[in-house]
Amino acid sequence: MSENVITHLEQVTNEWLTAVLRRSGALTQGAVVEFEVDSGRGNWSTSGSLQLHYSPDAEGERPSRLFLKMVDADTGDGEFFGSSEVDYYLRDYVDVPDAPLLRCYDGRYAPAIHRYHLLLEDVSATHTTACDKPPTLEYGLALAEAFAILHGRWWGAARLVEANAPLHDDAHIRRWVAVGEPGAAHIIGQLGHELAPHWPAAIRDIFARHPQAMIRRSQDANGFTLFHGDAGCYNTMVPREGIRPIYLIDRQPFDWSLTTWLGVYDLAYAVALAWDVESRRRWEQPILRHYHETLSQRGVQGYGWAQLWDDYRLCLAMGVYIAVEYCRGRYHPETQWVWLPMLQKALTACDDLNCAELWR
């Protein structure tokens, strides 16, 4: 890719916006003559919401608002994001017309400086994060469809080879688990009173035995695909009114993250780790059934319901790794509001569905 990456809002000009929109086909005549910017910031990014104004002769889609995301892919502690998010919008699903992705007008990744930018449609007027949307069965079914559409595109060993995204080897899986493991001891030592009496032993058992179950499961590629991997409510955009369309945003795996895995992991993350326990208990089966049916409609064959259900149970325990990773360096009470409910929900789901029988 070109080194021509936007790293600061000051680099954005009428001429650049005009050229980008013409290349994307969104502007067939005329030019951008003025724009206003509202700046923002994320964990590893800066951003700008752009309000565009066009010349009188402008024709084409002419989007009135765009969202520019500028990312420093070097997190500062020796970890990197790479080009995954740019590939997400501009390579991996460009042939899937109903993919639950925002329209991307431009994206560039520069490996030499570990930077990238994305120029996306701005849906803030019509959409909000799923954190603001109470769980419902209807929303869960729409979420299942969105994931099935993405997962079906790269399902199974042959398509993963085509995507140059092979299954992870044993060492990578164990490294992914090991990154967060120190956090388990920090949490148990500092906050054991917030856990059910049997949960500290359950957490230790998961770290001791569950990784080998993950490795065993990875010997059969049926069920594996390119996945999002961080499908929490903050990375899911939902309509302010109604249910569809849903947009899945911010695919930003670290260099140690899993990037190909069981597709149903994304649903386990989105439902079991984000929803309240009672909503998950009430609706997880019909949501998973709909995911299974939608996969079949998208051409996935030979992946039975019983296998999907076991894969979901295996993935629920991975929520423990996600939660404790927040405290891998030290105990972090300031983010407890994020990781403690996630940990409690993951362990409750493992209890409810007797997930431990899969690795004991």
Q: What CATH number is attached to the domain comprising 322?
A: 3.90.1200
Residue 2 is predicted with a pLDDT of: 43
Same domain, 315 and 343: yes
Query: Helix, strand, coil proportions of the chain in percent (round to 5)?
Result: 50, 15, 35
Task: Spell out the alpha helix ranges (H) of 116-198.
Answer: 137-153, 156-162, 170-191
Same domain, 335 and 320: yes
Partnered with residue 236 across adjacent β-strands are 248
Do the domain assignments include residue 2? no
Q: Which of 102, 121, 140 is the last residue of a domain?
A: 121
d(CA 68, CA 49): 6
Say which DSSP state 41 is in: E
- Amino acid occupying residue 67: F
Do the domain assignments include residue 131? yes
pLDDT tens readout for residues 295-332 = 999 999 999 999 999 999 999 999 999 999 999 999 99
Residue 3 is predicted with a pLDDT of: 59
Element (H, E) at 130: none
Same domain, 38 and 162: no
Residue 232 dihedral angles phi and psi, to the nearest 5°? -75, 175
Do the domain assignments include residue 315? yes
Do the domain assignments include residue 4? no
Residue 73 is predicted with a pLDDT of: 83
Same domain, 306 and 200: yes
Residue 133 is predicted with a pLDDT of: 84
Do the domain assignments include residue 149? yes
Residue 1 is predicted with a pLDDT of: 36
Same domain, 143 and 98: no
Do the domain assignments include residue 220? yes
Do the domain assignments include residue 72? yes
pLDDT tens readout for residues 28-68 = 999 999 999 998 766 667 889 999 999 999 999 999 999 99
Same domain, 227 and 313: yes
Same domain, 190 and 218: yes
CATH number, domain with residue 57: 3.30.200
Q: What is the pLDDT along the chain (360 residues), one digit of tens a residue?
A: 345 899 999 999 999 999 999 999 999 999 999 999 998 766 667 889 999 999 999 999 999 999 999 998 887 677 778 899 999 999 999 999 999 999 999 999 999 888 999 999 999 999 999 998 899 999 999 999 999 999 999 999 999 999 999 899 999 999 999 999 999 999 999 987 889 999 999 999 999 999 999 999 999 999 999 999 999 999 999 999 999 999 999 999 988 999 999 999 999 999 999 999 999 999 999 999 999 999 999 999 999 999 999 999 999 999 999 999 999 999 999 999 999 999 999 999 999 999 999 999
Of 240, 221, 222, 251, the residue nearest 147 (C-alpha): 251
Q: Which of 121, 140, 167 is the last residue of a domain?
A: 121
Say which DSSP state 221 is in: -
- Read off the pTM: 0.94
Same domain, 84 and 211: no
Same domain, 37 and 142: no
Chain mean pLDDT for the chain: 94
Residue 298 is predicted with a pLDDT of: 94
189-193 long-range Cβ contacts below 8 angstroms, 24+ apart: 189/331, 190/331, 190/333, 191/331, 191/336, 191/340
Domains identified in the chain, total number: 2
On whether the CB atoms of residues 32 and 63 are closer than 8 A, the answer is no
Same domain, 116 and 132: no
d(CA 29, CA 24): 12
**Domain enclosing residue 257, as ranges:** 127-358
Same domain, 72 and 175: no
Residue listed under structure tokens 């600061």 = 8
Residue 132 is predicted with a pLDDT of: 84
Q: Which of 74, 97, 121 is the last residue of a domain?
A: 121
Same domain, 44 and 134: no
Do the domain assignments include residue 1? no
Of 73, 55, 46, 69, the residue nearest 122 (C-alpha): 69
